[in-house]
């Protein structure tokens, strides 16, 4: 009976329920952030180089980073610069990705509105992505993949809401600089964006606009590559590629997602198992997308459909050479590289549902998928009471104002 009521609920009710769930998740991780240090959580990448690198930046050291093992201190460091501000302010480090997932919700909601979803379904879209198990897995850590997703989405929002002002091109340049300055994979993603949206980005450029665009790209993003080239004659240090030598202790990438799928024993099964567990309902988005293209051929394929299709294709290609592994744990870890692709695919599903008048059904399924993540969180009755009180106040205050 409960599920019948939810299914028959108005879109704004589904939207409010998902925002309530998302709010509770933020409350839960805020409690974790206050009560647990990164050392207690024991997330290896955070302890090995994200936090030590941010501490070095907080102390003003950007070049002498060999104390971090395997040359990992020379990865692009925009994410760790942001983390260094958290350290300088004395904020518990667990809030680093609470902020990132909150920003991700806001830019995703804006992305939905940009592609003509109404306010309620933009909220449903944003909450559905932010409540993916793969994203929630990173929230208590100091990994920077959610921040990369924020910059990726914000770039699309800016491109699709084009303006001719110099400030607009400055914002776009900062966003692209952040994208390529967070991770090396940001270069691949930025390349795909520049190809797919080439007309929107390049057609209205003049000298002043180009300068405003390229300056922050080079300063914020290019700095890390120039630093590494000057120090090691290798812009992508500690990685090795062609003529560029890796750090002598760096573990070379043996398994990629492509070789893992082809060569590893049960590689496809291990990948699919991790993929479904990390994306739940949304793991079937590729099937829905294929069907939507078949459906669209009966009509005229829109420019938006082509645009999203090309972007999905490039993002998929860029995943093939990225590091993976033949074991379930490494397959789960690989899913953080899939965030940009999944965001684009999930958006396409919402757009297709809007076109076929099936948004209500999709909203209900999105609600079920999001509810499914809650049992994975530890049980804290006091948090639930605080959340319920806040939700009740949120409902009562507007009613009182009307009296």
Paired strand residues for 256? 323
What pLDDT, on the 0 to 100 scale, is given for residue 400? 45
Assigned domain for 2 exists:
no
Inter-axis angle of helices 96-114 and 339-355, nearest 10: 30
Map tokens 């990132």 to a residue.
100
Assigned domain for 15 exists:
no
CB-CB contact of 33 with 57 (8 Å): no
Tell me the two tokens of residue 295: 């459906």
Cis check: omega of the bond before 243, within 30 degrees of 0? no
Assigned domain for 285 exists:
yes
Torsions phi, psi for 75 (to 5 deg)? -65, 155
CB-CB contact of 244 with 237 (8 Å): yes
Q: Which of 124, 92, 94, 95 is nearest to 111 (CA)?
A: 124
Map tokens 């049992």 to a residue.
375
**Burial grade of 310 (CB within 10 A; 0-12, 13-18, 19 or more):** middle
Tell me the two tokens of residue 138: 């990173």
What pLDDT, on the 0 to 100 scale, is given for residue 403? 46
The segments of the chain whose pLDDT lies below 70 read 1-11, 251-255, 261, 263-265, 296-300, 378-403
Assigned domain for 396 exists:
yes
Distance CA 338, CA 271 (A): 12
CB-CB contact of 83 with 54 (8 Å): yes
CA dihedral 112, 125, 151, 237 (to 10 degrees): -140
What DSSP assignment string belongs to 271-323? Answer: HHHHHHHHHGGGGGHHHHHHHHHHHHTTSPPPHHHHHHHHHHHHHHHHHTTSB
Map tokens 């990992």 to a residue.
72
Q: Which of 395, 394, 391, 345 is nearest to 129 (CA)?
A: 345
Tens-digit pLDDT profile for residues 323-356:
777 777 877 888 899 999 999 999 999 998 888 8
Number of domains in the chain: 1
Assigned domain for 156 exists:
yes
Assigned domain for 34 exists:
yes
Tell me the two tokens of residue 42: 């024991």
What pLDDT, on the 0 to 100 scale, is given for residue 367? 83
Paired strand residues for 241? 244
Map tokens 């933020």 to a residue.
26
What pLDDT, on the 0 to 100 scale, is given for residue 67? 87
Sign of the Cα pseudo-torsion (392, 397, 398, 403, in order): positive
Assigned domain for 382 exists:
yes
- Would the pTM count as exceeding 0.95? no
Which residues 6+ apart lie within 8 Å of 130 measured at CB?
22, 101, 104, 105, 108
Domain that holds residue 87: 25-402
Please tell me the chain's helix, strand, coil percentages from 3-state DSSP, rounded to the nearest 5: 75, 0, 25
Assigned domain for 7 exists:
no
Tens-digit pLDDT profile for residues 230-269:
999 999 988 877 787 777 777 666 667 777 767 666 778 8
């Amino acid at each position: 009976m409960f599920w019948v009521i939810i299914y028959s609920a108005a879109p704004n009710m589904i939207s409010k329920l998902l925002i309530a769930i998302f709010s509770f998740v933020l409350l839960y991780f805020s409690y974790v952030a206050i009560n647990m240090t990164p050392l207690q959580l024991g997330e290896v990448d955070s302890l090995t180089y994200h936090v030590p690198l941010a501490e070095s930046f907080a102390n003003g050291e950007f070049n002498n980073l060999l104390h971090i093992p395997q040359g990992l201190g020379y990865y692009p460091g925009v994410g760790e610069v942001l983390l260094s501000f958290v350290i300088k302010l004395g904020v518990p480090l667990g809030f680093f990705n609470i902020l990132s997932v909150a920003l991700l919700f806001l830019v995703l909601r804006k992305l939905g509105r940009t592609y003509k979803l109404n306010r309620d379904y933009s909220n449903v879209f944003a909450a559905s992505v932010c409540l993916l198990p793969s994203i929630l897995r990173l929230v208590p850590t100091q990994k920077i993949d959610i921040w990369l997703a924020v910059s990726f989405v914000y770039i699309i929002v800016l491109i699709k809401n084009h303006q001719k002002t110099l400030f607009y091109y400055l914002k776009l340049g900062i966003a692209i600089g952040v994208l390529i300055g967070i991770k090396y994979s940001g270069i691949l993603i930025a390349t795909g964006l520049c190809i797919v949206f080439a007309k929107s980005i390049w057609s209205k450029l003049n000298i002043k606009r180009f300068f405003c665009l390229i300056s922050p790209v080079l300063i914020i993003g290019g700095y890390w590559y120039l630093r590494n080239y000057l120090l090691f004659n290798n812009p992508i240090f500690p990685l090795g590629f062609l003529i560029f030598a890796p750090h002598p202790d760096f573990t070379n990438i043996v398994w990629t997602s492509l070789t893992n799928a082809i060569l590893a024993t049960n590689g496809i099964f291990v990948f699919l198992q991790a993929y479904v567990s990390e994306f739940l309902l949304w793991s079937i988005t590729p099937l829905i997308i294929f069907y939507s293209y078949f459906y669209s051929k009966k009509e005229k394929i829109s420019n938006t459909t082509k645009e999203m299709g090309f972007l999905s294709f490039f993002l998929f290609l860029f995943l093939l050479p990225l590091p993976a592994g033949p074991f379930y744990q490494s397959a789960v870890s690989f899913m953080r590289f899939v965030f940009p692709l999944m965001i684009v695919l999930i958006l396409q599903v919402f757009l297709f549902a809007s076109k076929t008048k099936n948004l209500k059904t999709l909203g209900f399924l999105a609600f079920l998928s999001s509810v499914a993540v809650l049992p994975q969180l530890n049980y804290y009755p006091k948090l639930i009471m605080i959340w319920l009180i806040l939700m009740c106040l949120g409902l009562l205050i507007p009613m009182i104002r009307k009296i």
